[in-house]
Each structure stands twice: as C-alpha cells, then as structure tokens.
A and B are shown apart, each in its own frame.
Chain A
Amino acid sequence: MSSARTYNSIVLVKQVPDTKNITGDVMKDDGTMNRSALPAVFNPEDLNALEMALRVREQHGGQVTVMTMGPPQAAEVLRESLYRGADQVVLISDRKFAGADTLATSYALTCAVQKQGDYDLIFCGRQAIDGDTAQVGPQTAEKLGIPQITYAETVVDLEGDELVVERALPLGKELVKCMLPCLLTVVSTANQPRPASARKRIEYKLAATPLEYRSLLKKWPEFGTEEALDAYLEARDMKLPVWSAADVGIQDGNIGLAGSPTQVYKVNFVVLETAESKEVSADQEGIAALLEELIQEYIVG
C-alpha cells in the first residue's frame, strides 16, 4: 500500500447569464442582449465540480483553489465558492481577455493553473449553460499536457498517483483509472452541491477584489479611499487576488480576440415564417375536431 497522501485541487468555474430567467427586458429592441439586465449565476455544473473537489478534500486532505476568468463582477462566484468551503480563490481578469473564444480562454486558464502550480486534480463543470460547448475543459487539459476525464460522475477511488472514476455516458457508464494529475469535467448527476454555509457567509462578507473597491466605496464611504479599504481588507485576509494577463505570463497574441481563431462573421435575426395556422379552441369539441382532421389527413392513426 502506498502511504496516504493529500491531493490539491483546482476548480475552474464560470459566471454565466441565467438562461432560465430570460425576460422581455433582457432583449433590446434591436434583438441584441442587454447582458447587464440578465441575472448572473454560478454555472450549475461548476457547482457539482466544486462539490466533488470539496469531497475529495474531506476524504484525503489538501487544498481546494477556485479560479474564474471573467469581468470584475465574476468575483461573486468566488465568494460563493468561499461560502461553500474553498480554501483559496483567484479572479483572472484583464480587459485584454475580451472577445476570447474557447481556445483563448483555455490558454488563459492554463497560464493561471501553471502559475498556481502544485495541483493533482482539476475540476470543471461538464459545460456552461450559455454556450453548451463543453470545450474549455478538454482544451485546458490538452494545453497542460494532462489526461482528461469528461462526464465524471463519481470518484470511486483515489490512491497514490491513481484515480478511479465512473463516467456517465449518454448510454451507459464507464469505469476508468487514470494517472494524476488529470482534469475532470463533472456532470450534474454527480452530487448534490452543498448550499452556502451561513457562518462562512458572514465570515467572508467583506471579501472583495481590488477591482471592486470603487463600487464598494460607494457602499462604505466611511473608508474614504481605496488605499484605506485595501489596508483594512488586507489585514483581515479578505482581499481576493486578481491576476492580470501579465501576472500569469500571457503572450498578447494568444488571448482575447487576437488569440481566438473563431470570429463572428455576422448575425441574422430569425424571421419566423409564420405557418399557415389554425386556432383550435381549447375545449373538448375543438380538440376532437382537430384530431379528426389529423386522422383524415393520415397524420395520426
């Protein structure tokens, strides 16, 4: 038997627009999206990824670090991660990241993971609900040169440098054994993510990144200056780190629009071709007549 050891995890998470709650106000008249009107949420399967990492820590020890790449507001998912038990969090944020496609995103995340170093496991959600692409996890694994386990559902065993995982395939299950380090993308059926702890919510109430100081000063004018706020948070260990492109050693050509091979050529509005349609009254007579018609036309029956 190999001696027991601990495992460090990095969880990559994303703040996404809540596609479940798109309301009329979100769409502008020209059909584009008013992103600021859209509530932002923790990408659901990223919560499953975080939960899996926390359970590994509970069983084997080690540190759980949560990273997200996004605008200053994305610090919210980092606080949510702290409320659930993450040990450390990092916001990867830079204007230069704007317009990144999945390839440029995975490059930036890879640089951040490498800067962090010292990891055994990387967890991501299977996919983000705003794109459903499921690409960033595998692309990050490729860039790190480590194996990937997509559709991970259960960590069955973790011992020495080997991990046994059950994958939930669309039509079945697969049990795989993999050398560490490796990257897992986690499905929603993996676990029931824990809720935020009330105690930690209070503990981390003040946690903020420097990118948020300006807006925080409006809320807490008593601090007066960003420097004063910074010193206050720093002393209490509530200052959340932000890594810029330069901090993680990114080469300009590889990020943002310039580093994204895909680009949007055009967008078209869908003009719905109104079908020739009949109103059917929602009563037994109307419904019976409709079905009669469908039977006559050999569509039903």
Chain B
Amino acid sequence: MTNQSNSRDVWVFIEQEEGVIADVSLELLAKAQELAGTLDSQVCGLMCGYQVEDLAETVIHHGADRVLWADHPELEMYRTLPYAKVTTKLVQEQQPYILIFGATAIGRDLAPRVASASRAGLTADCTDLQIGDYTSKKDKRTYNDLLLQIRPAFGGNIIATIINPKMHPQMATVREGVMRRQEPDVTRQGSVEKIEPTFDESDLALRILSRETRESEINLKDSPIIVSGGGGVDSEESFELVRELAHVLGGEVGASRAAVDAGLVSREHQVGQTGTTVRPRLYIAAGISGAVQHRAGMDESAKIIAINTDPNAPIFEIAHYKIVGDLTEVIPMMIRALREKAK
C-alpha cells in the first residue's frame, strides 16, 4: 500500500476450516483489542468462507467490533488465490492500519501474498506486538503509534523490534499460543458486513482434488506437563527415553528445532518462536541448550527442569532445577524414581 492510511483499525484474519475457527485467530482478537484500545480504534475480523455466518458472533464475542465476511462457494476450502484476492481488495479499499494473521499453514501461505500485492511490510512469527513511537534518525520525523513487531533475531540472545513506518497496513504473523485468548463476552455487540466477491478463471487456476486431514495427536499448548528433547538427544533410542518420561508423568512430548530437524520427532512437537508457545506447570528440557528462539516458547512455564551436560548452558539460567548430567542416565533415574513412588 502506498503511504499512510487514515484508518487506525486493527484487522485480524479469522481462519476457519469446516466451520471451526482456529484457536490462534481467537488469541489474536484478544491482542487486537488491546492494540485498538491503545490506538483508540476498532477491531475488525476478516473472514472468508461459504455459509459460515454463524461464526461472526463468536468473532465479536472474542473481541471484534466489526466482522467483514466474504461469502462464496469458491471460498469454502482455503485456496491461495481466491482468499488473497478478497483480502487484498478489502485491504486496498479500507486501508486498515494493522493486519495480523496466525502463523499457521494458511496464514503463512496467505499473508505474504497479500503483503506483496499491497506492498506492505510483513514480519513473521512475532513473539510480542506493542504500540510505540519512532523518530527517524535520518529526517528527524516522528511516527507516532507504530506497531512494534517484536521477535528474536538470528544469532545469540537478541530480540529485535521491527517497524514499518511508511507502508501500511503494518502486517505480522503470530504463532499459536503466543497471545492469550479471552473468555468470550456474550454481551458484546458488533456489526457484520457480508461481501459477495466475484472470481474469474485466473483466480481458480488451482483446484483441490482431495484433502485428507487428521486430528492433531498432541495438544502441547494445554498440557500441564511437557518433556522436551533437543539436540543433545542423539538417537532414536535416547528420544524414546524422552517419550517414556513424558508418558510416566502423564505429559506431552515437546522438542527443540534441533530434534525436529534431526528427524527424531514431528514438527508438531516443536516448542519455540516458530513452534508452539507453552506455559505448562512443569517443563523438562533434556539436552536443550536454551537458544532464545526456544526460550521464547517456554520461559513462562511455572517450573522448569533442565538436564544438560554443559554446566554453562543458557537453559540453566531460567531453570528452577538444574541437573548437570547426561540425559541418557538422568532420565532413566527419573523414570525409576517415579515408578517407585507409584508402587
């Protein structure tokens, strides 16, 4: 988009599949409400689908003042081009100040397409969003109330704040679990506007032949106990120990990106900036160094146990219990102690 918009509204892309709104969209509505409060503006939920009008109420109850709902049979299942066309058009017509997406498979497919078409900046996987002022060193111009897009920077313990002073909307994606959703307020009122888009042949260049989806086998976000393995887990057998400990504790298995990249466990288990953010009662980090991207997803855990052979591993600085030792020895001891207690 060219230059400043007049609107100060905060838009959230509401992701729905088969009539179910993604958790992350509801989480973002809560954050959007906070941002709009600071900006003294409105929250708008933008939803695409076919005959999903009933969802608009839920969107309002979770924080939207307004729902823009595009209804068309071609929008029933997510496809890049029709969704991008609708979203881009609305963005260009109404010029929201801020537009945020969940960093899901859909959000990560759609947001860059819309950003490119709107010539807007887009920051992926933010771990926090705030409103703040910025004065350019070059021309001394002050930009008030910008969206501060906060995320770990590559390498070391650095958190970067990214801004888009000139090109709006200010766009960002956020992973599931980073923001906290609010209890729905069923007394909240809002407006619903239905939009009936039209598509031409080029918008429908891609067709879905079939889709198979499965239920997620895990629920990391809501699990009270998580045992995670990292790069220090060097084999399938050792990762079995992590799984077994999680099982004995009645918790879920988590992982750092190193363990996921090594193929020891599926991506769904990744904790961190580009995985899931968790806040369990107990988080056990086995063979995880504690890189800032990992910590971003677990440092609000109530209790953290770290098992690491390196006494200087950064994970120890946020751990409540430090165990300096080899996980292939320590985890079996934990399992044994728990089995003893269970007797």
Residues of A within 8 A of B (CB): 17, 19-20, 22, 26-27, 31-33, 38, 44, 101-103, 106, 130-139, 141-143, 147-151, 164, 169-179, 182, 260-270, 272-280, 282-284, 286-288, 290-292, 294-295, 299-301
CA distance A41 to B105 in the complex (A): 26
The answer on a CB contact under 8 Å between B161 and A275 is no
Q: Which of A134, A268, A277, A283 contacts B158 (CB 8 A)?
A: A268
Could you list 5 A-B pairs, sorted by A, with CB under 8 Å? A103-B122, A139-B112, A172-B212, A177-B206, A261-B119
CA distance A170 to B213 in the complex (A): 9
Residues of B within 8 A of A (CB): 80-81, 84, 104-105, 108-109, 111-113, 115-117, 119-125, 134, 148-149, 153-167, 205-216, 225, 231, 249, 258, 261, 267-268, 273-274, 281-282, 292, 295, 302-305, 314, 316-326, 329-330, 333-334, 336-338, 340-341
Most chain-A CB neighbours within 10 Å: which of B105, B120, B159, B329? B105
Q: Which of B149, B215, B273 contacts A171 (CB 8 A)?
A: B215
List of A residues within 8 angstroms of B119 by Cβ: 103, 261
List of B residues within 8 angstroms of A142 by Cβ: 84, 112-113, 116-117
The answer on a CB contact under 8 Å between B121 and A261 is yes
Beyond the given pairs A171-B214, A174-B212, 8 more chain A to chain B contacts, judged by CB atoms under 8 angstroms and listed by A's residue number, are: A32-B158, A172-B214, A262-B121, A264-B160, A267-B160, A268-B160, A284-B336, A290-B305
Nearest 5 A-B pairs (CB), nearest first? A282-B325, A261-B121, A172-B213, A262-B121, A33-B155
CA distance A31 to B155 in the complex (A): 8
List of B residues within 8 angstroms of A148 by Cβ: 80, 109, 113
* Min CB gap B277→A, angstroms: 15
The answer on a CB contact under 8 Å between B158 and A270 is yes
CA distance A106 to B330 in the complex (A): 48
Most chain-B CB neighbours within 10 Å: which of A169, A177, A278? A169
Closest to A31 in B: B156
Closest to B149 in A: A262
List of B residues within 8 angstroms of A179 by Cβ: 205-206
List of A residues within 8 angstroms of B323 by Cβ: 279-280, 282, 286-287, 290
The answer on a CB contact under 8 Å between A280 and B206 is no
CA distance A272 to B121 in the complex (A): 30
Q: A26-B155, A261-B121, A261-B166 are in contact. Are A106 and B303 (CB under 8 A)?
A: no
Q: Which of B154, B319, B330, B340 contacts A277 (CB 8 A)?
A: B319
The answer on a CB contact under 8 Å between B161 and A264 is yes
* Chain A binding surface, main DSSP class: mixed
CA distance A27 to B112 in the complex (A): 31
CA distance A279 to B330 in the complex (A): 14
The answer on a CB contact under 8 Å between A135 and B325 is no
The answer on a CB contact under 8 Å between A22 and B155 is yes
List of B residues within 8 angstroms of A280 by Cβ: 305, 321-323
The answer on a CB contact under 8 Å between A288 and B84 is no
CA distance A172 to B164 in the complex (A): 35
The answer on a CB contact under 8 Å between A32 and B281 is no
Q: Which of A149, A151, A173, A268 contacts B212 (CB 8 A)?
A: A173
List of A residues within 8 angstroms of B80 by Cβ: 138, 147-148, 150
Q: A171-B214, A263-B162 are in contact. Are A275 and B319 (CB under 8 A)?
A: yes
Closest to A172 in B: B213
Q: A149-B206, A269-B157, A276-B320 are in contact. Are A262 and B211 (CB under 8 A)?
A: no
CA distance A167 to B207 in the complex (A): 13
Closest to A33 in B: B155
The answer on a CB contact under 8 Å between A275 and B329 is no
CA distance A6 to B341 in the complex (A): 67
Closest to B146 in A: A265
List of B residues within 8 angstroms of A19 by Cβ: 154
Q: Which of B116, B154, B209, B314 contacts A106 (CB 8 A)?
A: B116
List of A residues within 8 angstroms of B231 by Cβ: 20
CA distance A163 to B209 in the complex (A): 12
The answer on a CB contact under 8 Å between B113 and A138 is yes
Q: Which of A143, A147, A265, A286 contacts B148 (CB 8 A)?
A: A265
* Min CB gap A138→B, angstroms: 4
* Min CB gap A119→B, angstroms: 16
CA distance A17 to B159 in the complex (A): 18
CA distance A278 to B338 in the complex (A): 20
Q: A270-B159, A287-B337, A290-B321 are in contact. Are A135 and B124 (CB under 8 A)?
A: yes
The answer on a CB contact under 8 Å between B121 and A260 is yes
CA distance A177 to B303 in the complex (A): 49
Most chain-A CB neighbours within 10 Å: which of B104, B113, B116? B116
List of A residues within 8 angstroms of B210 by Cβ: 174-175
CA distance A208 to B323 in the complex (A): 51
Q: Which of A147, A265, A272 contacts B134 (CB 8 A)?
A: A265
Q: Which of B154, B249, B321 contacts A131 (CB 8 A)?
A: B154
CA distance A276 to B304 in the complex (A): 11
* Min CB gap A165→B, angstroms: 9
Q: A268-B158, A291-B338 are in contact. Are A134 and B112 (CB under 8 A)?
A: yes
Q: Which of B116, B134, B258, B304 contacts A20 (CB 8 A)?
A: B258
* Min CB gap A262→B, angstroms: 4
The answer on a CB contact under 8 Å between B109 and A275 is no
Q: Which of A172, A265, A276 contacts B211 (CB 8 A)?
A: A172
List of A residues within 8 angstroms of B326 by Cβ: 282
* Min CB gap B312→A, angstroms: 10
CA distance A278 to B322 in the complex (A): 6
Q: Which of B208, B258, B321 contacts A278 (CB 8 A)?
A: B321
List of A residues within 8 angstroms of B334 by Cβ: 287, 291
Q: A31-B157, A172-B213, A287-B333 are in contact. Are A265 and B163 (CB under 8 A)?
A: yes
Closest to B164 in A: A261
* Min CB gap B49→A, angstroms: 17
CA distance A33 to B152 in the complex (A): 13
List of A residues within 8 angstroms of B281 by Cβ: 299
